[in-house]
Structure 1
Amino acid sequence: MKEMLTISEIAKLRGMTTEALRHYDRIDLFKPKFVDPETGYRYYSIFQYEILGTIKELRQIGMSTDEIKQYFNQRNFKKSSEILKAKHAELVSKLKELTEIEVNIKEKIAYLDNISRKEAFQEIIFREIKSRKLITLNEKINSNLELCYSIIRLETMLTEKAPILASNRLGIIIEEEDLKDKRFEEPSVIFVVAKKDEKIQKKYLKMIPEGLFACIRYNGELLRNRSKSLKKLFAYLHETGYLIAGDALQIMVVDITVTDNPNEVMFEIQVPVKKA
């Protein structure tokens, strides 16, 4: 066994790259014990193993090179303990965030996998839907430009991670009065369905009670191409003896966050109904 090791030898011993060691030398984080003045070759002492091993571990827990420099600056028990506790708290916070993201992605994958097994376009079905809490700016949307800005404003109100991508939580409210008067192309209010633990000011919330909904799906833009579907749905309600029982929701089922193909964009209109 020898005390002095080449850069390749100590890198292999510690499972690191020679480039990482050269970088640590350049930034004065971990310098070789000896540099040959003629060849420029770096040589390290085996007794430097503790420092290099600690650097590797600190990098593994996410510390930057500047943070590691601070860690080694006048090390003592109290200082090291405090730094590690702070880093642990940071990691716990990141793990919580990653767990939330993982749960959201899992739900979105299950949702997307389930879409293909749902009802066909222009098929009218009745569905019992539980109560929902909507977050809305209470502003009517008159154009796609206004729609874009409203979506951004709604997203910034949410504290959850990856909230709207690939979900059926974004949509617009079609007011009951407009439905009864057959004003199907009137400007509408945009919303996002809130999750249970979302804390939002009361003025931005709207409750949709549970009940029976007549539903129909179609392709097209959010603010256009819905008249045909609504006319078909209302004709069916008239034939079967149902009345409108409140504001309707137009839900984005598949949107531009998951496809560039306009033929794959899908919406569902949900009209609350009751027997005449």
Structure 2
Amino acid sequence: MKEKLSIGEMAKLRGVTTETLRHYDRIDLFKPQYVDSYSGYRYYSIFQYEILGTIKELRQLGMSTDEIKDYFNERNFSKSLDILKAKHTELVSKMNELVDLEENIRGKIEYLEHAAREKELQTVFFREIGSRKLITLHEKINNNLELSYGVIRLENMLSEKTPILASNRLGIMISEADLKAKRFEEPSVIFVVAKNKEKIPKQYQKTVPAGLFACIRYNGELLWNRSESLSKVLEEIKKMGYRMSGDALQIMHVDITITDKPNEITFEIQVPVEKT
């Protein structure tokens, strides 16, 4: 064992590269303690191991070299504790973001795997759907240009970090009045289904009660190519002895973030019904 270590020996001992140590030397963050007056060789002291270990730990916390310099400048208990508390808060925030991101991606994967197994189109079916809270700007969408801006505005209202596309949560509301009048291609209000933890002002919220819905899926590139599907749904509702009980929802089932093939882009229309 020896006290003086070459740059290679210190790098190997602490699991860093020699270039990292040279960089720390150049920026005056961590400098060799000894310089041979004859050869000019620079040596670290084994007793500097604690400083380099602390630098490694602080780098793992995401601190910049300038922040680490400040950490070592006139260190004292209170200052060190405050810096570590601040970094811990940042770390927890990043971890929460990663947890949310993982949940969103996992949910999208599960949804898309489920969607891949449901290939029957233009067939009306009935199913119970639970209560949903929608977030909406209460603005009607007339074309794809307005749709693009509407999606962006809705995403900016959410706290989640991943886009709302590819999640079967984005859609438009088709008013009951338009359905009864068979105005199937009228402009419709855009919405996104909110997650429970979202805190959105009440004026942007709309609750869709739980109940029975008459549903149909169709494919194509445009939201408004739905006349055939809506006609089939209304015919089936009448045939089965039901009546509409509210606005319909048209959900983007498989959207343009997943595929650019028109025959794979799928929408699901959901019309709330009750017995006559």
| Deviation digits for residues 54-96 of structure 1 (CA, Å, limit 9, x no counterpart) | 1111111221111110100011122112211221222122222
5+ long unaligned stretches in structure 1: none
TM-score (norm 2): 0.93
The residue aligned with 1:137 is: 137
The residue aligned with 2:172 is: 172
Q: Quick one: distance in 2 between partners of 1:182 and 1:221?
A: 21
Shift of 1:36: 6.1
On the 8 A contact 1:251/1:267 being kept in 2, the answer is yes
Root-mean-square deviation (CA), in Å?
A: 1.9
Q: Quick one: distance in 1 between partners of 2:274 and 2:31?
A: 79
Shift of 1:215: 0.4
The residue aligned with 1:259 is: 259
Give runs of aligned pairs for residues 12-161 of structure 1, distance below 5 A.
12-35=12-35, 42-118=42-118, 120-161=120-161
TM-score (norm 1): 0.93
5+ long unaligned stretches in structure 2: none
Aligned-partner residue type, residue 194 of structure 2:
A
SS in 1 for 2:154: helix
| Deviation digits for residues 181-214 of structure 1 (CA, Å, limit 9, x no counterpart) | 1111101000011122221111111121111101
Identity, % of aligned positions: 71
Q: Quick one: distance in 2 between partners of 1:217 and 1:41?
A: 75
Q: Quick one: distance in 2 between partners of 1:108 and 1:245?
A: 30
Q: Are the structure 2 counterparts of residues 240 and 28 from structure 1 closer, same or farther at C-alpha, using a change threshold of 3 Å?
A: same
> Which range is displaced more, 37-46 or 203-212?
37-46
| Deviation digits for residues 17-43 of structure 1 (CA, Å, limit 9, x no counterpart) | 111111111211111224568977543
Q: Are the structure 2 counterparts of residues 175 and 4 from structure 1 closer, same or farther at C-alpha, using a change threshold of 3 Å?
A: same
On the 8 A contact 1:220/1:226 being kept in 2, the answer is no
Runs of 4+ in 1 over 3 A off after TM superposition: 34-42
On the 8 A contact 2:127/2:212 being kept in 1, the answer is yes
**Aligned residue pair count:** 276
SS in 1 for 2:117: coil
Q: Quick one: distance in 1 between partners of 2:267 and 2:3?
A: 71
The residue aligned with 1:217 is: 217
On the 8 A contact 2:220/2:264 being kept in 1, the answer is no
> Which range is displaced more, 8-17 or 259-268?
259-268
Give runs of aligned pairs for residues 194-273 of structure 1, distance below 5 A.
194-273=194-273
SS in 2 for 1:78: helix
Q: Quick one: distance in 2 between partners of 1:18 and 1:198?
A: 48
On the 8 A contact 1:104/1:163 being kept in 2, the answer is no
Shift of 1:257: 2.1
| Deviation digits for residues 76-135 of structure 1 (CA, Å, limit 9, x no counterpart) | 122112211221222122222222222222222221221123361112110111121111
Shift of 1:167: 0.9
Shift of 1:44: 1.7
Q: Quick one: distance in 1 between partners of 2:212 and 2:199?
A: 28
Q: Are the structure 2 counterparts of residues 41 and 115 from structure 1 closer, same or farther at C-alpha, using a change threshold of 3 Å?
A: farther
Shift of 1:6: 1.7
Q: Quick one: distance in 2 between partners of 1:246 and 1:39?
A: 88
Aligned-partner residue type, residue 50 of structure 1:
E
Shift of 1:227: 1.2
Q: Quick one: distance in 2 between partners of 1:132 and 1:17?
A: 55
SS in 2 for 1:257: coil
Q: Quick one: distance in 2 between partners of 1:5 and 1:165?
A: 56
Q: Quick one: distance in 2 between partners of 1:145 and 1:82?
A: 49
